[in-house]
Copies of this chain bind each other. A is one copy, B any other.
Amino acid sequence: MIQIVVIGSGNVAHHLISAFLQSTEIELVQVFARDRNALRQFSGSFAITNNLNELAQADLYLIAVSDDAIGPVSMQIQKENGLVAHTSGGVSIDGLASHHRRGVFYPLQTFSKNKTVDFRSIPICLEATTPGDYQLLEKVARSISDSVHAIDSNQRKALHVSAVFANNFTNHLYKIAGDICAENQIPFDILKPLIQETAQKILTLSPAEAQTGPARRHDATTIQRHLDFLTDNPKKIYQLLTQSIQNDQKL
């Protein structure tokens, strides 16, 4: 059994804790939470501390806190026997204090507290400074996921930017589409099958192959009618994305 201490009680920590509790290869020995109420749904499944000076002995300390807190928290971890890894897409491995062994254990998914996810399909991106540490992270990752990848800090930075496009910005386009519907007394539900199909298409086609629409087919009449309809940021976004789709075709 690999002994793990999780530091944090936010969305990522919650989902990791749930996954570890179901793994037969992991012993979750302790969780650090500033407010133990945040972990009440797990009552009794593991020890809880709110003091970083009282961390238990473990093979791996997983820091699942906000990006800004990763450095300060890792500074306070005095357990020099364990590997210390953070779970962030946005922070280099060098963001961890250097007095202990360092690693990254980044699950690439959008987590909501009240929505369960199938952790086995979530890609986990690993980085370590020695082969032994990588193997430890890999063993932990494989115990909860079927999708484990070696991704260094430069790649992880690229991946994090990609994820902003694929997740945050995509969701904002859904928001704009929903706003246009609402302003015209159209139920947003009417767009949901289209949104699902758009996401599913890229499981079998590349995004370049899946691209359709007025920009792709250079349908200037439709583009102009749409621009006449729009105002403000949605209009600017329409123009820029149309131009970007058409630029891509020239390459």
Residues of A within 8 A of B (CB): 67-68, 90, 108-110, 112, 115, 117, 121-123, 125, 147, 149, 151, 154-155, 157-178, 180-181, 183-208, 210-216, 219, 221-222, 225-226, 229-230, 233-234, 236-238, 240-241, 243-245, 247-248
Contact = CB atoms under 8 A, between A and B. Distances in A.
A67 B240 contact: no
Contacts of A213: 164, 167-169
List of 4 A-B pairs having minimum Cβ-Cβ separation, nearest first: A168-B213, A199-B199, A175-B207, A158-B184
Contacts of A199: 170, 195-196, 198-200
A177 to B, nearest CB: 4
Interface SS, A side: helix
Integer count of this chain's copies in the complex: 2
Nearest to A199: B199
Nearest to A175: B207
A204 B151 contact: no
Contact of A171 (B188, B201, B214): B201
9 contacts: A112-B210, A125-B190, A162-B191, A167-B197, A170-B170, A170-B199, A173-B173, A233-B247, A237-B240
Contact of A147 (B109, B183, B190): B190
Given A159-B190, A190-B149, A191-B163, A173 B175 contact: no
Contacts of A207: 171-172, 174-175, 178
A247 B231 CA distance: 14
